Amino acid sequence: MQSSTSPLPTRLRTRFWQVSLVLAVLLLLGWPEPARAVRGGPDRIYFPQTGHSLAFGFLDFWLAHGDTLLFGYPLSEELDEGGLTVQYFERAVFEWHPEAPAEWRVQLRRLGAETTRGRSDRAFRPTPPIELTVCRYFPETQHNLCSGFRAFWERHGGLRIFGYPISEELSEDGLTVQYFERARLEWHPEARGTHDEIQVTPLGAWAADRIGTARDPLPQPPGVPVFDPERFPGAPALVRTPPAGAPVQETKWIEVDLGQQALRAWEGDRLVFSTLVSTGLPQYPTPVGTFRVYVKVRYEWMRGGTPGIDYYDLPNVPHTMYFYRGYALHGAYWHNNFGHPMSHGCVNLPLDAAAWLYDWTPLGTVVWIHP
């Protein structure tokens, strides 16, 4: 006989608590959260190319940091691997770390390190610095990064995406390649001058061989749309053509998109680089208009604001390029919250992006800032 105090039969009450317990466990394990995942579009999309979907925090990261160019298409759904939520892609494996700061909750598996574990051939041994301006030396791993690989690494996320170099350049499979903690880059000379000249090796596909049937394609879920870049107006990396009114007559020009908190570098009407940035807070707006870079300073000492209220004293601000009065484009080492207004009016860039942009930008380059 049912209790008069409960509207649910015993079986349904038991089932209710079972489901609640499962949901609680999953929340403790951590699911990629829906916050900011949509970027103006749906929170879940389907890829018929591989028969898998991408959603929420993983979708947000994929859109913001390189989409198919760096990561490829998804090769699985989200999976639980020992309490860690992961998803496999052609060129990467995403991991969800709910305990980490917001900007580090999505991390890329160290596939470059995994695929080269135990290698001791010459390219993987510690190497002294190469004294050339096209090279950058990393004492952390004692390896050099030069020329085209360096430009690609700096343009597409640097340490955050690829990690440190763990080898010098070497020849494999008929290609010049270089290994990083999270990736391998390939040089394709037959595609010189195009977006395909430097490519990311599909190490994610190599890693996905271990997951068996979880890689099998699935039908499109009801109500989940097929991926289309036009669905995501808030994803800066998906912009492929200049907006109306852009200074496309310039050989080189820089766009700062205040609405999307994005910076793009263009050569005429061809996009060559994009990154999330942090522009001025509402009380310290970044100026809107067309300007030109008039001073470049490798390291700058920036001080300002009102003592006791908003005073700042920042030594060694890297790769600073002034474009209007005291407003500048520069690297920011004091935060990693790019994609949100943070500054007193300057345009804050990730450090690797700032380094690449500084080298690419001659004095006089147009900086076009729009809402």
Nearest to 186 by CA among 195, 169, 171, 198: 198
Count CB-CB contacts under 10 A for residue 209: 10
Q: Which residue is it, tokens 């050339």?
A: 132
Residue 250 per-residue DSSP state? S
Q: How far apart are CA 112 and CA 265, in angstroms?
A: 29
Q: How many CA atoms lie within 13 A of 303 on its CB side?
A: 4
The amino acid present at 321, given as its one-letter code, is M
- What token pair was written down for 242? 């200049």
- Is the sign of the CA dihedral 195, 48, 23, 208 positive or negative? negative
Q: How far apart are CA 122 and CA 87, in angstroms?
A: 33
Annotated catalytic residues are 330, 346
Q: Which residue is it, tokens 């490798």?
A: 298
